[in-house]
Amino acid sequence: MTLRIAIAMFLATTAAWAHHSFAAEFDANKHVTLRGRVTQVEWINPHVWIHLDVKGPDGAVVNWMVEGGPPNALLRMGWTKNSLPEGMEIVVDGYQAKDGAERANGKDITFPDGKKLFVGSSGPGAPPEK
């Protein structure tokens, strides 16, 4: 019984340590709007990652990683694993990483038909938790 409790406490501590706050990695003053094609979506804990090929001002294509919310939260909001098929062109509004890397915390995605989906950001403009 003691071993089970120790394992449960270890797993809970590990999950909490792996999760980070928005302010630890992203800058609320570095708003980005990315238009590009989805190359991959990773449904992994603690956050979904959307990989996007974005054409820069010089015409070079750069692969961005966009952090979404936790997989379970996105599923509860209506997302499915088929919501973002590879090759789909989308527009992502979000906030760039503090270190200037091609990594962002996503706020909203706009689809080609104009439909918007909240990406699960914990940053500015996120809906209040229920």
With 70 as the cut, is the pLDDT of residue 113 above it? yes
Q: Which residue has the higher pLDDT, 1 or 12?
A: 1
Rounded to whole angstroms, the Cα distance separating 112 from 79 reads 16
Instruction: Give pLDDT, residue 68.
Output: 94
How many other CB atoms are found less than 10 A from the CB of residue 72? 11
Strand, helix or coil for residue 55: strand
* pLDDT level of residue 1 (50, 70, 90 thresholds): low
**Closest by alpha carbon to 75, among 38, 112, 55, 45?**
45
Structure letter (DSSP) for residue 128:
P
* pLDDT level of residue 13 (50, 70, 90 thresholds): very low
Q: Taking the CA atoms of 77, 78, 81 and 82 in sequence, report the sign of the dihedral they define.
A: negative
Structure letter (DSSP) for residue 102:
S
Rounded to the nearest 5°, which phi and psi values hold at 102? -80, 65
With 90 as the cut, is the pLDDT of residue 96 above it? yes
With 60 as the cut, is the pLDDT of residue 86 above it? yes
Instruction: Give pLDDT, residue 24.
Output: 85
Structure letter (DSSP) for residue 126:
P
With 60 as the cut, is the pLDDT of residue 92 above it? yes
pLDDT digit string, tens, across residues 20-36? 578 888 999 999 999 99
Give the lowest-confidence range in 19-23, 40-44, 100-104, 126-130: 126-130
Instruction: Give pLDDT, residue 2.
Output: 56
CATH class of 21-118: mainly beta
Who contacts 121 (Cβ-Cβ below 8 Å, separation ≥6)? 22, 67, 68, 69, 94, 95, 105, 106, 107
Rounded to the nearest 5°, which phi and psi values hold at 4? -60, -40
Domain positions in the chain are 21-118
Q: Which residue has the higher pLDDT, 42 or 21?
A: 42
Q: What is the mean predicted confidence (pLDDT) over 7-11? A: 44
